[in-house]
Amino acid sequence: MKRSFYTVWTFVRINTRRFFRDKLALFFTIGFPLIFLFVFGSLNSNTSDISFKVAFINQSDSQFATQFTKQAKASKVLKVNSDIKTLEAAKEKMSRSEIDAAVVLPKEFGQVKEGQPGPSGEAQIVYTENNRQSATALSSVLEAQFKAVNSQFVDTKVPFTVTSKQLNQRSLSAFDYTFAGLLGFAIMGMGIFGPMNVFPELKKMGILRRLSTTPLRVWQYFLATMIGQAAIGLIALAVMIVVAIVVFKLNVVGNYFELAIFAILSITMILGIGLALGGWAKNERQVAPLGNIITFPMMFLSGTFFPRFLMPEWLQTISGFLPLTPVIDGIRLIATEGAHLVDVMPQLGLIAAWMIVIYAVAFRVFRWE
């Protein structure tokens, strides 16, 4: 028994050394997921800072209109394109979705009419059908600004008001969902694409065929690969977590030790798919189409890049049984909601079930050449 595990440990060291010497493997295991992290992190980390790209067309000569235009350009909510001077130019920009809407101040805007305590006018928001939602939100923003201005000239008392109350409870942000999905994407990449690319290459070079003539057993080779990939995977995930905390201010509320255990089990399960594909395929051309058929549904239906609750209910039910879904759901529950391993037993149960099925297939289809 000692000799068997010594063999396993030997291959763990060999595989690990080979990985860290392979610059391409390092890039796709650590660098490539980090690129996705920066891209999606940048898209989702500032979702609370709502802004509108608009053109401000001032057709009025009044002092109030000039002052209002100047304040709009200084606003953080309104990103005013100062190069657009006419409504026709604004329409051209809107047709290409370069701006969300155009705010037109008519000639009479800001003028003081007879019998009124101060300036008045009606701003027009011009928009296309595709930007209806942005225009509605922009109308609310401008109405709030005009309400503050109106209160300076007219004393109004309203019978109904609204107050807001903050709960002492944290809700998930868009980045929280994205980050858990990106960790799942990284696990899928290192678990499937690694063996799927390495094994056919080793067969092509005749290395696996030579190993088959030794006392090495399939279970020993699989176990060595599992241990090595789990260690490498934890390093890659740790790098992603550190970058997310430092750059995107991610708040990991869960227990890191429990997260590591869950990640190891997840990597082991997903790795079985890569071992099955790589162990069965004779060459890269044979494994690539089958690998894409398996990975692409999981990539888009397991909540990798967007939450599953946005899908129709029937699709949520189907996607809930994909191997990657419990991985992403479990990571999200532990990392961003503070759940413990006891709380993610449904996800662990599905991972265990898939692990039995996947490795039964992997052992069945594996061939040394």
Average pLDDT over residues 162-171: 54
Q: What is the pLDDT of residues 254-265, one digit of tens each?
A: 889 999 999 999
Mean pLDDT is lowest, of 41-50, 172-181, 197-206, for: 41-50
**Better pLDDT: 6 or 171:** 6
Report in angstroms the alpha-carbon separations of 336 from 80, 147, 176, 328.
Answer: 36, 39, 6, 11
pLDDT above 70 for 2: no
- The pLDDT of residue 44 is 63
**Better pLDDT: 28 or 346:** 346
- Work out the percent of the chain whose per-residue pLDDT is above 90: 13
Average pLDDT over residues 322-337: 90
120: which DSSP letter? B
pLDDT above 50 for 167: no
- The pLDDT of residue 221 is 80
- What is the greatest pairwise CA distance in the chain? 102
- The pLDDT of residue 164 is 54
Rounded Cα distance between 78 and 211, Å, is: 66
**Better pLDDT: 284 or 346:** 346
- The pLDDT of residue 323 is 92
Q: Which of the four pLDDT bands, split at 50, 70 and 90, describes residue 115?
A: low
**Better pLDDT: 138 or 54:** 54
**Better pLDDT: 22 or 267:** 267
How many CB atoms within 10 Å of residue 271? 27
**Better pLDDT: 176 or 358:** 358
Residue 362, classed as helix, strand or coil, is helix
Nearest-CA neighbor of 225 among 284, 275, 276?
275
pLDDT above 90 for 244: no
Average pLDDT over residues 6-32: 76
Task: Kindly report the average pLDDT of the chain as a whole number.
Answer: 81
- The pLDDT of residue 229 is 83
Average pLDDT over residues 244-254: 83
Residue 55, classed as helix, strand or coil, is strand
- The pLDDT of residue 137 is 80
**Better pLDDT: 246 or 193:** 246
Domain spans in the chain, listed from the N-terminal domain onward = 2-45+173-365, 52-153
pLDDT above 70 for 49: no
- Is the separation of the CB atoms in 92 and 99 below 8 Å? no
How many CB atoms within 10 Å of residue 170? 12
Question: What's the fold here for domain 52-153?
Answer: abc type-2 transporter like fold (3.40.1710)
Nearest-CA neighbor of 276 among 183, 202, 191?
191
Q: Which amino acid is at 50?
A: I
**Better pLDDT: 57 or 45:** 57
Average pLDDT over residues 329-353: 91
**Better pLDDT: 65 or 355:** 355
- The pLDDT of residue 331 is 92
- The pLDDT of residue 92 is 86
- The pLDDT of residue 264 is 92
Q: Structure pTM?
A: 0.69
Q: What is the pLDDT of residues 195-225, one digit of tens each?
A: 777 777 777 777 777 877 777 788 888 888 8
- Kindly state the tokens that stand for 66: 């000039």
- The pLDDT of residue 265 is 93
Facing residues of 126 across strands? 102
